[in-house]
Amino acid sequence: QVQLHESGPGLVKPSQTLSLTCSVSGGSISTGSFYWSWIRQPAGKGLEWIGRIYTSGSTDYNPSLKSRLTISLDTPKNQVSLKLTSVTAADTAVYYCARTIKTIDTDWFDPWGQGTLVTVSS
Amino acid sequence: SYVLTQAPSLTVAPGQTARITCGGNSIGSKSVHWYQQKPGQAPVLVIHDDSDRPSGISERFSGSNSGNTATLTIIRVEAGDEADYYCQVWDSDYGHPYVFGTGTQVTVL
């Protein structure tokens, strides 16, 4: 079955760029009616959708993050990448990637990666 | 933007039934999905499309949705059901298509 694994630096300095990779196994990121989403969760808080990318490469971003966010596909490596610029302490969170099941009138997330903690601190 | 409201916590005795609610304006007209998140772990989908159970999820989990409230029901609650539960909807009317509920922490005691 499809499995997702996030990776990247656990510590990022304020004002720098957060870069994460989601490696997908058990299926191709470029086929099927799926989006690939990033979702984050600050410690002790709820889930926040960050953005998504379709198998075609088209993207949609959370309006609150849009100006700082880039999500891309690396099809040969079967990876999904996230870049968030100009980070602050408010960006400290566990970051998850998740396959997004796309249907006519709704979408849901399944499965999720195990998550990776990113701390923004000098 | 669309708001989903959940009670922060729920305590249930082993063997009893837990009913976790998710409130939203006319949520009955949307499809609701539910996730279970155990401490230190990633969320896991337990119900999609209001009441469909993914393969591998216990039959003790069920869902319903009507009016302004969606409900995740867990019967014969076990210690292993202790977790945070989040509801989620997709809404095309906003630039932010995915909305999560605030989460309910279920304690089995």
- Partner-chain contact A106 B31, CB within 8 Å: yes
Return the pLDDT at B41: 97
On whether any CB of chain A is under 8 Å from the CB of B30, the answer is: yes
Q: What is the pLDDT of residues B53-76, one digit of tens each?
A: 999 999 999 999 999 999 999 999
- Which of B98, B99, B105 to mutate to test binding with chain A, by most A CBs within 10 Å of its CB? B98
CA B4 to chain centre: 11
Min mean pLDDT across A55-64, B28-37, B45-54, B74-83 is at: A55-64
Question: Within 10 Å of residue B52's Cβ, how many Cβ atoms?
Answer: 14
CA B51 to chain centre: 10
Nearest to B28 by CA among B83, B80, B67: B67
Q: pLDDT band for position A44 (50/70/90)?
A: very high
Question: How far is it, in rounded angstroms, from Cα B8 to Cα A80?
Answer: 33
- Which member of B45, B99, B102 has the closest CB to residue A110? B45
A chain contacts of residue B88, beta-carbon cutoff 8 Å: 47, 108-109
On whether any CB of chain B is under 8 Å from the CB of A51, the answer is: no
On whether any CB of chain B is under 8 Å from the CB of A59, the answer is: no
A37 residue type, one letter = S
How far is residue B82 from each of residues A54, A74, A112, B2, measured CA to CA in Å? 34, 38, 19, 28
Q: Look over chain B and give the mean of its residue pLDDT values, rounded to a whole number.
A: 95
Percent of chain A with pLDDT over 90: 91
B chain contacts of residue A108, beta-carbon cutoff 8 Å: 33, 45, 48-49, 88, 90
- Partner-chain contact A46 B101, CB within 8 Å: yes
Question: Within 10 Å of residue A42's Cβ, how many Cβ atoms?
Answer: 14
How many pairs of residues across A and B have Cβ atoms under 8 Å apart? 60
Smallest CA–CA distance, residue B78 to chain A, in Å, is: 23
Q: What is the pLDDT of residues A49-97, one digit of tens each?
A: 999 999 989 999 999 999 999 999 999 999 999 999 999 999 999 999 9
Return the pLDDT at B94: 63
